[in-house]
Structure formats: C-alpha cells, structure tokens
Amino acid sequence: MKVLITEPLDFGRENLKLLEEIAEVKKGPFSRPDLLKAVGDVDVLMIRLEHIVNEEVFEKANKLKFILTPTTGLNHIDMDAAGKREVKIISLKGESEFLAGIPSTAEHTWALMLSLLRKIPAAHKHVMQGEWKRDEFKSHNIYHYKLGILGFGRVGKQIAEYAKVFKMPFVFYDTDPNLKDQANAVEDLEQFMEEIDILSIHIPLNLENTQFLNEANLKYLKRTAYIINTSRGEVIDEAILADMLINKKISGLATDVLASELSSKSRSNNPLIKAAQHLDNIIITPHIAGATYESMWRTEEFVITKWMEILQA
C-alpha cells in the first residue's frame, strides 16, 4: 500500500511513524505537474489545502481508494468525482466531540478581531514609515461593541465563550431550529444584522450557504460595523463587500479566507485583495486559522487513526 503526503512540512513525527508501519510513504511538496505524475500508483492521498483534488487528479490516480484530509471543509475536493470512483473521504467534518478541543480557528478569529478594531496592522505600518502619531489610532474597548455570531456550531460557541471573558455583549443567528430558544439567539436575520457592531462568520460552506451574505442582507449592517470571516470566502458576495468597504458603508473587514483562494489567477482578480491595496481597514491572512502545530498534529493523528480503524474493520 502506498500513501502520498502532499504537504509534509512539519508533519508530526509520530503520525509519520503510524503511516510507515503499514504503508510505503511518499512525500512532497509537489508542483501541480509533479503531483499529477506522483498520484498514479498511490492508494491513499493525504492532503491539506495546497492542492485542489479535482477530475484532473482523479484521472491520474488510478489506484486511489482513500483521501485523508484533516480539515472540516471539503471544497478543495471534487466530491462528485470522488463518489463516482468510490474514493472514501476521511475528514474532520461532523467530528464535533473531537473538534471541541481544537481552539485554533476561534483563537485566530479573536486575533483578527482585536487587530482590526485596534488598527494594529495600520499602526505598525505607520511606525515603519517613521511616524509616531498615536492619536490617529484611537479605538474603543471591546466591550463597547455588540458581537454577532453567524453560525452557532463548534467555533461559534467557542467565540461566545471568549466574548464572555471580554465582557462583550453578543447575539447569534443560526438556521438550526433547535437553537432558536437558546439565550442570545435572534431568529430574524435582518434584525440580527441591524443590531450588531461586529459580524463574526462561522457557517459551513455548502450549497445553501454559498453567498449566504449578499447585498440583500449586508445592507442592514451599520456603517460602523466590522466583519470577521474565518469560515469560507464563498459564503459572502465579495464584490458587494468590497464595494461596501470602498464606499464606507461598513468600517472594516478581517478575513482568513477568500473565494477560489487556491487559484493565483482568482486571487489576483479578487475584489477584496484589490481593495486592501488601497485601504488600511482590511486585513487578509492566507487561511492560517487552523495552522497551529498542535492542532495540525492532533488532526493528522485523528484522520490517520480513523483510516486505520476502517482498514482493520
């Protein structure tokens, strides 16, 4: 059996040993052409987010039986193509109990929020330009803002706990009817958008949530509102969002994700990246919310163990 690891940098040593005990392991990193050459004889592909596994890859991967991806989102895999070839996907999707102990995305969300509200990147740039005008970077204490959590799943609940520590008022909106009677729930999306100062996005990407946030509902945000996104870029209409930022219809954005972020061509044409080149109230990070050593090692181990249990069944 052959396992191919596409992104071996900082791969957990113990996790590598687990794989090497039962399989021949091939390791990248790979350029796209090299990946297409390498997958021809592998049984298992272990990936993160560097490569899109689409029809192009499946056509070359004649022996592929499993894809291991220690991620919750699966938009980097053509699920229809995998299904046609009976390739089993092993991921973190739906693993709520395990993921409750993984705080990296929530931590990065909070880091983005504080960085945006306290204007930290702009202040750093200001100092690097030889300036020292502190009055240009005044802000508010974080408890001055009402936080709106869109999606009250695992990460949304973690964010709520952080808000409590910072004595920050919060409400949440979720389409799950089982959550509507919980404290702090707002049933009406329009009302939710109108009353919050910060929108923190934590909904999964699926067909229903593609461009869930669009011109029809974003218009209800206050001009003083901020948006934080550590979900997926595709859940928001980025062209409308960029226009709102340029025309000062909202006060700022911090995002760890972009639509079609793995395509360099798409990134070069992305309206948020273009807007960020001229505005200091936009922060964009390269999908690093889950990229802590501890979280990556634990999630690697989880999907590897899950795969091994399937083999032994």
Residues 135 and 258 in one domain: yes
Residues 153 and 278 in one domain: yes
Angle at 22 between CA 20 and CA 26, to 5 degrees: 45
Picking from 34-38, 127-131, 263-267, which range would have the lowest pLDDT averaged per residue? Answer: 263-267
What is the average pLDDT value for the chain, to the nearest integer? 96
Q: Tell me what pLDDT residue 291 has.
A: 93
Task: Say how far apart CA 12 and CA 176 lie, in whole Å.
Answer: 36
On whether residue 181 sits in a domain, the answer given is yes
Q: Tell me what pLDDT residue 252 has.
A: 98
Contact between 256 and 230 under an 8 Å Cβ cutoff? The reply is yes
Angle at 50 between CA 36 and CA 227, to 5 degrees: 150
Contact between 163 and 170 under an 8 Å Cβ cutoff? The reply is yes
User: Does the pLDDT of residue 178 top 90, yes or no?
Assistant: yes
Residues 139 and 226 in one domain: yes
Bridge pairing between strands 198-201 and 252-255: unpaired
Reported confidence tier of residue 18, pLDDT bands at 50, 70, 90? very high
Contact between 250 and 221 under an 8 Å Cβ cutoff? The reply is yes
Q: Tell me what pLDDT residue 262 has.
A: 82
For 248, left (φ over 0), alpha (ψ -120 to 50), or beta?
A: left
Q: Where are the beta strands (DSSP E) in the chain?
A: 2-5, 24-27, 44-46, 66-68, 88-90, 147-150, 170-173, 198-201, 226-229, 252-255, 282-284
Q: Tell me what pLDDT residue 259 has.
A: 95
Residues 224 and 115 in one domain: yes
Residues 148 and 255 in one domain: yes
Task: Say how far apart CA 223 and CA 226 lie, in whole Å.
Answer: 9
Residues 165 and 248 in one domain: yes
Picking from 172-176, 230-234, 265-269, which range would have the lowest pLDDT averaged per residue? Answer: 265-269
Q: Tell me what pLDDT residue 140 has.
A: 95
Residues 16 and 118 in one domain: no
List, for residues 207-229, the tens digit of each pLDDT value. Answer: 999 999 999 999 999 999 999 99
- Span 36-46, average pLDDT: 97
List, for residues 96-107, the tens digit of each pLDDT value. Answer: 899 999 999 999
List of residues 6+ apart from 9 with CB closer than 8 A: 29
- Span 39-68, average pLDDT: 96
Q: Quote the radius of gyration of the chain (alpha carbons, Å).
A: 21
Phi first, then psi: what are they for 133, rounded to 5°?
Answer: -110, 85
Give, in order, the Cα–Cα distances in Å from 234 to each of 17, 42, 209: 37, 31, 8
User: Does the pLDDT of residue 263 top 90, yes or no?
Assistant: no
Helix (H, G, I), strand (E, B) or coil at 284: strand
On whether residue 24 sits in a domain, the answer given is yes
Residues 210 and 307 in one domain: no
Residues 256 and 114 in one domain: yes
Q: CATH number, domain at 120?
A: 3.40.50.720
Reported confidence tier of residue 148, pLDDT bands at 50, 70, 90? very high
Task: Say how far apart CA 218 and CA 222 lie, in whole Å.
Answer: 9
On whether residue 216 sits in a domain, the answer given is yes
On whether residue 137 sits in a domain, the answer given is yes
Residues 247 and 304 in one domain: no
On whether residue 99 sits in a domain, the answer given is no
Task: Say how far apart CA 190 and CA 4 lie, in whole Å.
Answer: 47
Residues 260 and 143 in one domain: yes
Range of the domain at 245: 104-284
Reported confidence tier of residue 192, pLDDT bands at 50, 70, 90? very high
Reported confidence tier of residue 313, pLDDT bands at 50, 70, 90? confident
Helix (H, G, I), strand (E, B) or coil at 37: helix
User: To 10 degrees, what angle do helices 104-117 and 154-165 make?
Assistant: 50
> Residue with structure tokens 């590897």?
304
Residues 203 and 252 in one domain: yes
Q: Tell me what pLDDT residue 27 has.
A: 96
Q: Tell me what pLDDT residue 126 has.
A: 96
On whether residue 261 sits in a domain, the answer given is yes
Helix (H, G, I), strand (E, B) or coil at 148: strand
- Span 201-211, average pLDDT: 95
On whether residue 39 sits in a domain, the answer given is yes
Number of structural domains found in the chain: 2
